[in-house]
Structures are given as structure tokens and as C-alpha cells.
Structure 1
Amino acid sequence: MPFSKPIRAVTLDLDDTLWPIYPTIIRAETLLHVWLAEHAPATAQAHTISDLRRLREQLGAERPDLAHDLSALRRESIRRALLVSGEDPALAEPAFDHFFAERQRVELYEDARPALARIAARLPVVALSNGNADLRTIGLDYHFVAAVSAREFGVGKPDAAIFLHACERAGFAPDEVLHVGDDPHLDVLGAQAAGQPAAWVDRGLHRAPEGFAPQLRVTDMAQLADRLGV
């Protein structure tokens, strides 16, 4: 195994590592628009689904202080759409709740659940995500000893601080904790900068940057479990 020390724990990305996030978000945004059409018709009429997505992206550019909190960013973008349309901004809360509930209805990759069970049976696993998935709602929380999110911690990947905090939650030094994720920059390079070995789950979603050298490259979680010998 290409590690300087034995791996004693794992920090694990969620979106696009255990499940594809894009179909989930598209479905949640579609149902959010349906909700707005019923409860805030002027907002729904004035904003297509694409308009609401662009508004969220625009707000993200204007509010870098919310970059680590995707829930707050989504909620504020809904509130802005309501205000522009002359409707009650307080509707942003139930509108977001509707979106958020649907966002938790993820469909795991076929390999993810059995491989996660294999890994978690042998090593402590800490979820480490910039997203806003709720593991308890999804029904995977029992596989994890802890969950670290950018929203709760205050900064997101690739900041070294969040990786180091996740290692603390795992109870081991960074060079003993393997970080696993799909994003070469956020996950692999971020973890390596924090002193962690990294495994790239390459599901074909990202192009590897020049000189990219993860300690492991796998195409799915089952292959990762095999490589870890669990």
C-alpha cells in the first residue's frame, strides 16, 4: 500500500463520492419551483428554475462569507427572489425546507452502500463535506463515528483546517487518516496539503490536473475497500 503509515481511519466526502448530486439537486429545484407556484405564484412566474439557479450563483459571488454554507446561500437566494417579486420574504423558510427535504432523497451509487459497510466495519469513518446532506435522514449515519460539514465548521475544503478537524474527530494523526473523495482539488490536493494521504474516487466527473498524484486512484468505493483490504 502506498502509505507512509498504516491507515487507521478514513475521512469521506459525500456528494459525487457516495451518490451523484446533480440529479438530486435538479429534482429538488424542480419541486421547489412547484412549491413556489402554489405558495408564491408571482415569484414562480417571474423566475424560472434556471433564473433561481443563476440568482443563487450571483448571490454566491456577492457573498463570499456564505461560501461554506450552501443552506444559507440557497435560503437567501429564495428570499431575494421573493422580495424582488413583491411577496413575503418569510416564505423563504418553508420554501427552503421543501427543497432541503427533497435534497436528502439521494440515490447511492450501486457500489457505495456495501463498500461503506465493509470499510466502516474495520475503520472509523468521518464524513467530511462541503455540502448539506443529512446522514441521519439519508439513513447512513450509523456507518460514521462523526460528521464534519463546512457549514458547521465555518470553512470548507480545501482549507487545511477542516481536514485537521476531521482527523481530530477520527482520533488519529493526519498521516494515519485516509481522505477519500471525488474532487481532485477540494478533496485530494486539500487533504494532502493538510498532511493526509488521499484516495481519488474517479467516477469520470473531473479531469486530473497536471502532476496530480493521489496515493490511491480507484473508480468506485468497492475498489477502494478492496485496496484497503477490508
Structure 2
Amino acid sequence: MIKCITFDLDDTLWAVDPVVKAANQTLFDWLYENAPLFHQQFTLRDLGTLRQQALAAEPEISYSVTRIRKAVLKLGLTQAGYPEQQVAELSDAAFDVFLRARQNVVFFEHALKALADLKTAGYQLGAITNGNADIHSTGLSSYLDFQFSADHVGVEKPDAKIFTAMLNHTKLKPENVIHIGDNPQHDVLGAKSAGLWGVWVNLYQQPWRENVAPDATVTSLDQLVGAVDKIAACKRARL
């Protein structure tokens, strides 16, 4: 029996690129006022170079977008000439500004309706994300019961450990859970390799290029309830 449905967040329930673009602009506006040396030396385009440098220095943080972002800010502020104590203070404040702005998402059409319908149907709902969107700050806490992120678990999808953390929390078997997401490797194959059912959100109708097929594919979020119903019926038929 299907008892729980988990969702990826970025590019599954909303488009992430415009969110991060706007959050980066908010960050740079704040840096202009509060860290002018940084703003004088770097542009938005330099964030990619700083990210490469930060990851080269600390490859162990690659699973965490939060740790990467903080490392980028510290590196940039240091290169801009700020002393160590000020780097720590400014980087913490700047990250908080970015993180708040990063929660300003615009949901895809039918996203909230699908969540509401699945909640009403009696499923436990949760999020499993590699990003640092927060279900409370994005307005999802009335729909989703829990969240697991790469930042907190210490690994990112498709690592089975993040799915196992969810299973331990819900006390469910893998076959009782459907995971829904847009990324073929991180979401669908990651979920299926952990024993879950995997639904591919393919809003842009891209070809499937992996050897293992998803259990269902939706090209619009108003198809989610039907996809879950089919998998639930399939599961019952196997019993």
C-alpha cells in the first residue's frame, strides 16, 4: 500500500533559476550597501569562478549548496580585503539575506492543487531536496509533513542515504513510498535504487535517456494524482 509521497522541490514544484537569479541580485544589492569592497571587485558573473575556487579548496562541501554559498561569500570577502572577523560577520549576514530571498518561489501551475488533493486523499507528504529551500518559508508546511535536505543529512540525491533517512523517519518500507521529481538521476533513479517508486516530472517534455524507466511520467502537475493512483493500483495488484 502506498502511504507516503515525497517531492523534490526545485524545478519540480517551481522553476529554480529565476528564484536564484533574483536572490543573487538581492544579495548583491545588500553587498553594495554593506560590503562595498566586495561589490567593487566582483560582479554577479564572478560567483561561478568563486564557486570553483571554493570547491577546489574544500571539495568535501560539494553536497551542500548552503556550505558552498557560505564558502563563496567568505572567499570573496577575504579576497576583497576584509579582515577575518569582519569576513565572518559579513558572510553570515549576507547569507541570511540570500537565503530569505531564495524562498520567494512562484509555484508551477497545478502544484498546490495537486498537493492539496494528495493530502486530502490521506497520504503522508514530504520533501527530499538537494537545495536549501525550506517548506515553512515557501508556504508548503500546510501540505508537507516533513523535509529532508542534503544540507542536514550530509549527502545529496541520488545517494540512498537521504532516502533511507526519510524511511527511518516515517517507519515505512521503500515500496510504501513514491518519490516525485524532475531530475532523472537524482530523483527517479535515486529513488528506484533505494527501492521507492519514482515519478518523473517532465514539464518540458524531454526524452528519457536512462536505461531504467520511471514508474510514471507527468508532463503537467495536474496529472500527478492520476499517476499516484495508477501506481497504488499496481501495488495492490502485486499483493
Task: With the length of structure 1 as denominator, give the TM-score of the two structures.
Answer: 0.92
Compare 100-109 and 219-228 and name the one that shifted more.
219-228
Partner of 2:148: 148
Partner of 2:137: 137
1:180 and 1:57 map into 2 onto residues whose CA distance is: 30
Structure 2 residue 10 is matched with structure 1 residue 15: yes
Partner of 2:77: 82
* 1:64 Cα offset (Å): 2.6
**Contact preservation (8 Å) 2:54, 2:75:** no
**Gap change, CA 1:205 and 1:132, over 3 Å in 2:** farther
**Residues 1-230 of structure 1: matches in 2 within 5 Å?**
6-87=1-82, 88-89=86-87, 90-121=89-120, 122-204=122-204, 208-229=208-229
* 1:78 Cα offset (Å): 0.6
* 1:61 Cα offset (Å): 4.4
Q: Cα deviations across residues 89-148 of structure 1 (Å, max 9, x unaligned)? A: 121111111111100001110111110111122200121011111111111112122111
SS for the counterpart of 2:208 is coil
Say what the alpha-carbon RMSD is for the aligned residues. 1.7
* 1:56 Cα offset (Å): 1.8
| Count of residue pairs brought into register by the alignment | 225
* 1:226 Cα offset (Å): 2.3
1:146 and 1:104 map into 2 onto residues whose CA distance is: 17
SS for the counterpart of 1:180 is strand
Fraction of identical pairs, as percent: 36
Letter in 1 for 2:18: P
Q: Cα deviations across residues 10-31 of structure 1 (Å, max 9, x unaligned)? A: 1111111111100000011111
* 1:154 Cα offset (Å): 1.0
SS for the counterpart of 2:136 is helix
**Gap change, CA 1:206 and 1:30, over 3 Å in 2:** farther
**Contact preservation (8 Å) 1:146, 1:169:** no
* 1:75 Cα offset (Å): 1.1
1:195 and 1:133 map into 2 onto residues whose CA distance is: 25
Contiguous gaps of at least 5 residues in structure 1 = 1-5
SS for the counterpart of 1:151 is helix
**Gap change, CA 1:94 and 1:221, over 3 Å in 2:** same
Contiguous gaps of at least 5 residues in structure 2 = 231-239
SS for the counterpart of 2:127 is strand
* 1:156 Cα offset (Å): 1.1
**Gap change, CA 1:26 and 1:222, over 3 Å in 2:** same
**Contact preservation (8 Å) 2:8, 2:180:** yes
1:30 and 1:220 map into 2 onto residues whose CA distance is: 30
Letter in 1 for 2:142: Y
SS for the counterpart of 2:180 is strand
**Gap change, CA 1:158 and 1:36, over 3 Å in 2:** same
SS for the counterpart of 1:78 is helix
Q: Cα deviations across residues 159-200 of structure 1 (Å, max 9, x unaligned)? A: 011112212323310011011100000001111111111000
**Contact preservation (8 Å) 2:217, 2:227:** no
Letter in 1 for 2:55: G
SS for the counterpart of 1:23 is helix
* 1:60 Cα offset (Å): 2.9
Letter in 2 for 1:69: S
* 1:207 Cα offset (Å): 5.1
**Contact preservation (8 Å) 1:56, 1:73:** yes
Runs of 4+, deviation exceeding 3 Å: none
* 1:205 Cα offset (Å): 7.8
1:132 and 1:23 map into 2 onto residues whose CA distance is: 15
